[in-house]
């Protein structure tokens, strides 16, 4: 089978949810199905791009426009369609929530992964342009795709509620955990990363976009309520207006700044070490497409606390502690328990190992391969 994959986010924006997911899918297919020929399409591969972070065996071909000055237009309009026809692609998968506008001219069967509908439920967290672009791409892709893939049942239900899509057109396929988080990290690496980012010896970790619906404010409030006043909070996520105008002023007013460290951008290769050194990972969002942070933390053997009634609970399984998004009392109690109760920590770590078995490269690649074959049969 010849498979076309949108690799633009995997190569150019791999610090995003869509980018991480795209990279995992490409790597999983390359590893598990060497008999398939995989074409990865991207508008460009720069000198300092992350293309080198992709596994590039013989069955992967990275394709980009050769001469056109309008490289984004090539990806979103007709150029990439002409390329996939020339390569005799059987299935084209838009991994980042979009399909080329002229996908109807392709001989390939189109599939799209929709990651989240947060822009529709929390419009204030997105600029007018970002919200409009996401809404257009989602509606256009869902109308053209033979099958819509989502990474959680929650996202599937949100797509049905928001767009009125037939449930039978949607397939839930969970992502896999990146193999970077499954390897043992030696002490020398931990020491180097701690020094690089000036990390404290004891900290709680949140890896998240710093937007209102990500609910990081709940963690700051819980930090104030905890019995342990010496542990710090490390936030990993780019600086936003919400952080500058809301989160940071709250921390200043409540004398938390000396316990707060904000890392605006951490190198992907350092993230496993940052997880490994945390006392606990909190995933406090009110709404997520899935929750890669949760399975990354679990792969590193770190206790997770996350919100109930969300796709994050779906990801965490039985291997986490849960709280309602506004219940900071319970969150503070869970944090104190995880830090002081060694039996609880060990139970969660054991459950971590069991839960991440649901998120292997082999399972992801096999389910996608079965989906592609089903589409071609139809």
Q: What is the pLDDT of residues 216-243, one digit of tens each?
A: 999 999 999 999 889 999 999 999 999 9
Q: What is the pLDDT of residue 208?
A: 93
> Nearest 5°: CA angle at 72, between 69 and 74?
75
Local confidence band at 275 (pLDDT 50, 70, 90 cut-offs): very high
pTM: 0.90
User: Is the domain of 365 the same as that of 349?
Assistant: no
Contact residues for 220 (Cβ-Cβ < 8 A; gap 6+): 233, 247, 250, 251, 254, 256, 260
Q: What is the pLDDT of residue 52?
A: 47
Q: Which phi and psi angles does 56 have, rounded to 5°?
A: -125, 75
pLDDT for the residue numbered 9: 87
- In contact, 326 and 340? CB cutoff 8 Å: no
CB 196 within 8 A of CB 270: yes
DSSP assigned state of 142 = H
How many structural domains compose the chain? 2
- 226 and 90 both lie in a single domain: no
- Going by the DSSP 8-state scheme, the letter that residue 91 receives in this structure is E
Co-location of 82 and 136 in the same domain: yes
214 and 311 assigned to the same domain: yes
Strand 60-63, strand 232-236: pairing? unpaired
Average pLDDT (286-311) is 95
Q: Both 7 and 138 in a single domain?
A: yes
In tens, the pLDDT along 88-115 reads 999 999 999 999 999 999 999 999 999 9
Strands (DSSP E) along the chain, which ranges? 2-6, 37-41, 60-63, 91-94, 109-114, 147-150, 170-172, 203-207, 232-236, 260-263, 280-283, 304-307, 321-323
Residue 57 scores a pLDDT above 90: no
Q: Using pLDDT thresholds of 50, 70 and 90, give the confidence band for residue 120.
A: very high
Per-residue pLDDT tens over the stretch 153-181: 999 999 999 999 999 999 999 999 999 99
192 and 305 assigned to the same domain:
yes
Neighbouring C-beta atoms of residue 264, cutoff 10 Å: 12
Asked if residue 294 and residue 172 are part of one domain, the reply reads: no
Distances (CA, A) of 360 to 111, 179, 229: 21, 9, 38
* Minimum mean pLDDT range among 40-54, 138-152, 215-229, 290-304: 40-54
Does residue 14 contact residue 53 with C-beta atoms inside 8 Å? Answer: yes
Q: Are residues 332 and 348 in the same domain?
A: yes
Domain boundaries, position 315:
179-358
Are 217 and 347 in the same domain?
Answer: yes
Query: Are 200 and 118 members of one domain?
Result: no
Q: pLDDT above 90 covers what percent of the chain?
A: 78
- Give the count of beta carbons closer than 10 Å to the beta carbon of residue 158: 21
Pick from 253, 121, 274: which is nearest to 190 by CA? 274
Residue 141 sits in the same domain as residue 192: no
Q: Residue 68: CA atoms inside 13 Å, Cβ hemisphere, count?
A: 15
Q: Are residues 28 and 168 in the same domain?
A: yes
The encoded tokens of residue 366 equal: 């096999």
Contact status, residue 305 vs residue 319, Cβ threshold 8 Å: no
- Give the CATH number for residue 274: 3.40.50.2000
């Amino acid at each position: 089978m010849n498979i076309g994959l949108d690799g633009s986010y995997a190569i150019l924006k791999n610090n995003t949810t869509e980018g991480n997911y795209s990279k995992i899918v490409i790597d999983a297919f390359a590893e598990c199905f060497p008999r398939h020929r995989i074409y990865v399409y991207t508008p460009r591969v720069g000198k300092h791009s992350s293309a080198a972070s992709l596994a590039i065996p013989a069955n992967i071909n990275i394709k980009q426009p050769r001469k056109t000055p309008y490289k984004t237009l090539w990806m979103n309009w007709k150029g990439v369609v002409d390329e996939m026809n020339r390569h005799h692609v059987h299935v084209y998968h838009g991994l980042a929530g979009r399909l080329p506008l002229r996908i109807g001219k392709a001989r390939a069967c189109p599939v799209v992964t929709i990651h989240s509908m947060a822009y529709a439920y929390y419009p204030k967290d997105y600029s007018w342009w970002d919200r409009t672009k996401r809404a257009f791409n989602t509606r256009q892709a869902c109308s053209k795709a033979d099958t819509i893939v989502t990474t959680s049942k929650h996202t599937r239900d949100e797509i049905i509620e928001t767009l009125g899509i037939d449930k039978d057109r949607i397939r839930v396929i969970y992502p896999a955990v990146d193999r970077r988080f499954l390897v043992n990290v030696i002490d020398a690496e931990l020491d180097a990363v701690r020094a690089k980012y000036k990390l404290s010896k004891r900290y709680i970790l949140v890896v998240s976009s710093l937007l209102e619906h990500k609910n990081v404010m709940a963690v700051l409030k819980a930090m104030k309520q905890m019995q342990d006043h010496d542990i710090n909070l490390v936030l990993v996520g780019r600086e936003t207006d919400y952080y500058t105008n809301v989160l940071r002023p709250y921390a200043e007013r409540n004398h938390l700044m000396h316990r707060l460290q904000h890392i605006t951008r951490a190198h992907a290769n350092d993230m496993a070490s940052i997880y490994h050194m945390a006392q606990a990972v909190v995933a406090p969002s009110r709404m997520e497409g899935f929750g890669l942070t949760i399975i990354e933390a679990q792969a590193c053997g770190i206790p997770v606390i996350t919100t109930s009634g969300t796709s994050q609970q779906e990801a965490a399984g039985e291997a986490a502690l849960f709280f309602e998004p506004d219940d900071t009392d319970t969150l503070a109690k869970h944090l104190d328990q995880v830090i002081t109760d060694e039996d609880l920590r060990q139970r969660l770590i054991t459950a971590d190992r069991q839960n991440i078995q649901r998120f292997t490269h082999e399972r992801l690649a096999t389910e996608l391969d079965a989906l592609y074959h089903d589409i071609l049969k139809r």
